[in-house]
Amino acid sequence: MTDTTANVQQVIDQLMTEKLTPLQINAMLHVLSNQIYPEGLRLVYVAIDDVREQDINAQAMSKAAFDQLVANIRSTGAPESVPLLVKTDKGCEIISGHHRFRASREAKIKYLVALAFGSLDRARVHAKQLAHNSITGKSDAQIVKMIWDRIDDVQARFEAFIDPKIFDNLPQPVSFKPIDVDVAALSKTILFVFLPTQAEDFDAALEQIMPKANVDKVYIEQRSAFEGWVVAFKRVREDMEIVNSPTALAMMAQLAIERLDQLKAGSK
């Protein structure tokens, strides 16, 4: 721990011991900041709920790592490194420390000491966000590029310490041509409510037709297939004298399984 960091921690410990109000703490931190930081950079004591996160943040953290961070903060009583903020017309925004603020909130901590710029243009906010993210942790390359593209100042891009070549191998965005479909006129919507055993029969039929290893969900089918399905559905209800629709659908699933077993056994 450096002498400066030690002195800052001693002052923070003293402030917390004396149980000063947030306003008093900030007044003392302002005096301390004048001694150890350049103009425009100050220690602040902020309410966690008053701090705003960036719209996008490339830094990723696993749930296990986040849970460990929460445990560390709960044990210590505060993060073991000081987050970096910037004061804007929207209030205090996080540059570095999104997960520390989230974990502190999870640990039921109300206030944190942070280091804050008095002001920065938006390009430099993004540049410093990327620069700090590159120091520690793991960032999502796609989101890094989104933030990088928002930096419209050449000098700020240098300050971000990002090599644009890392974006060369990113997959290209996939776009789809809009389809003009009159859903109301061309589609049918049917709601079925399954009892547990009926749902199991239907899932079993789908599993044989389309194994879950290849297909996770069934979403939609062509309208032409619906007409044949309705004919089969009505016949099952009539031939087997079933009144309840979900029961009829479950019976269709059972018949499908039986037929599939016959085909698998070579029977016709």
Are 98 and 129 in contact, with CB atoms under 8 Å apart? no
- The pLDDT score that the predictor gives to residue 240 is 80
Task: Decide the pairing of beta strands 59-60 and 138-139.
Answer: antiparallel
| Pairwise CA distance, residues 107 & 70, whole Å | 6
- The pLDDT score that the predictor gives to residue 233 is 84
- The pLDDT score that the predictor gives to residue 107 is 93
Q: What is the largest CA-CA distance in the chain?
A: 91
Cα Rg of the chain, angstroms: 30
- The pLDDT score that the predictor gives to residue 217 is 55
Backbone dihedral angles phi then psi of residue 128, each to the nearest 5 degrees: -70, -35
- The pLDDT score that the predictor gives to residue 58 is 67
Secondary structure of the chain in the HEC alphabet? CCHHHHHHHHHHHHHHHCCCCHHHHHHHHHHHHHHHCCCCEEEEEEEHHHEECCCCCCEECCHHHHHHHHHHHHHHCCCCCCCEEEEECCEEEEEECHHHHHHHHHCCCCEEEEEEECCCCHHHHHHHHHHHHHHCCEECHHHHHHHHHHCCCHHHHHHCCCCHHHHCCCCCCCCCCCCCCCHHHHCCCCCCCCCHHHHHHHHHHHHHHCCCCCCCCCCCCCHHHHHHHHHHHHHHHHHCCCCCHHHHHHHHHHHHHHHHHHHHCCCC
If one looks up domain 37-167 in CATH, what number appears? 3.90.1530.10
- The pLDDT score that the predictor gives to residue 221 is 56
Mean pLDDT by 10 residues, the chain (268 residues): 56 65 88 90 93 79 85 89 89 89 92 92 81 63 70 71 67 57 62 65 66 53 68 85 77 82 74
User: Shortest CA distance to 111 belongs to which of 22, 185, 192?
Assistant: 22
Question: Which residues in the chain are classed under CATH 3.90.1530.10?
Answer: 37-167
